[in-house]
Amino acid sequence: MEHKDKRHNSTTESEKNIHTDFTNNMTYGEYLQLDQILSSQDRLSDHHDEMLFIVIHQVSELWMKLILHELNAAIESIEKDDLQTSFKQLARVSRIQSQIIQGWDVLSTLTPSEYMEFRDFLGQASGFQSFQYRKIEFALGYKTDHVLKIYQKDRELYADLEKAFKAPGLYDVAIKQLAKAGFTIHPDLLNRDYSTPYEEDQSVRDAWLTVYQNVDQYWDLYQLAEKLVDIEDSLQQWRFRHMKTVERIIGFKMGTGGSSGVNYLKKVLDQRFFPELWDLRTEL
């Protein structure tokens, strides 16, 4: 008993500085605005599992917000020739991607019968309409103007997306680094219309191949290339898990947003962001 009392007194003494009076100070919940965050899960049905559906998608959007924060910072760092900083930012993107991929494992606990109980309440709302996901695609260089029409309802959002649509992507600034390093890059690529999808180019392919054949000489460019491969690899894993989760829950039904559902998700798996970095692996 005496031993327990001493331990209790020791714990009390060591924790005596814990703040308990927040009358005039900001709390943890206030800093994070938890009242807003935790009151934003408004189910449209009375089905228990709709909470799971909402939370998983909200968490994914928060992770995507952080991905965009880091991707945009990395693009800016590369433009400033600060590759070391960009490596940290891109590595963080990859770690975030590992978290967002695991979200599908949680959602896959939703069975087809359970989802059908509240699916009709979604109307035409769909993850296909995620504007943050579109901005991630834009930052990685995949741009299709028809998706912009989805967002015309909100002028401010549309203007923001249009700006991202026309801005150089991660691969564009990486290619400029190849030119700065002395590689001969087709001049049309260095001042191209960034609102058009990137197409494979032999001069870029030759430059990256040289980088990989001379790692010690082009160490920074080699690291940059591998960071890009990490991100595309993880994005494709995310897409695959998305496709399989949708197939598991709704089979081959049409998506709520009007897409062909699983068939559409299978098709986007063929999209490539940094094609030369994958092709050169066959040539090495």
* CA atoms within a 13 Å half-sphere pointing along the CA-CB vector of 108: 12
Check whether 222 is labelled as a binding-site residue: no
Contact in structure between 93 and 74 (CB atoms under 8 Å): yes
Check whether 242 is labelled as a binding-site residue: yes
The rounded radius of gyration (Å) of the Cα atoms in the chain is: 24
Q: How far apart are CA 35 and CA 240, in angstroms?
A: 34
Burial class (CB in 10 A: 0-12, 13-18, 19+), 201: middle
Check whether 56 is labelled as a binding-site residue: yes
Six-digit token string for 107: 């959602």
Check whether 47 is labelled as a binding-site residue: no
Check whether 55 is labelled as a binding-site residue: yes
Six-digit token string for 108: 């896959």
| Crossing angle of helices 219-250 and 83-107, rounded to 10° | 10
Check whether 256 is labelled as a binding-site residue: yes
Q: Which residues are annotated as a binding site?
A: 53-57, 115, 119, 242, 256
Q: Which residues are annotated as a binding site for substrate?
A: 53-57, 115, 119, 256
Q: Which residues are annotated as a binding site for heme?
A: 242
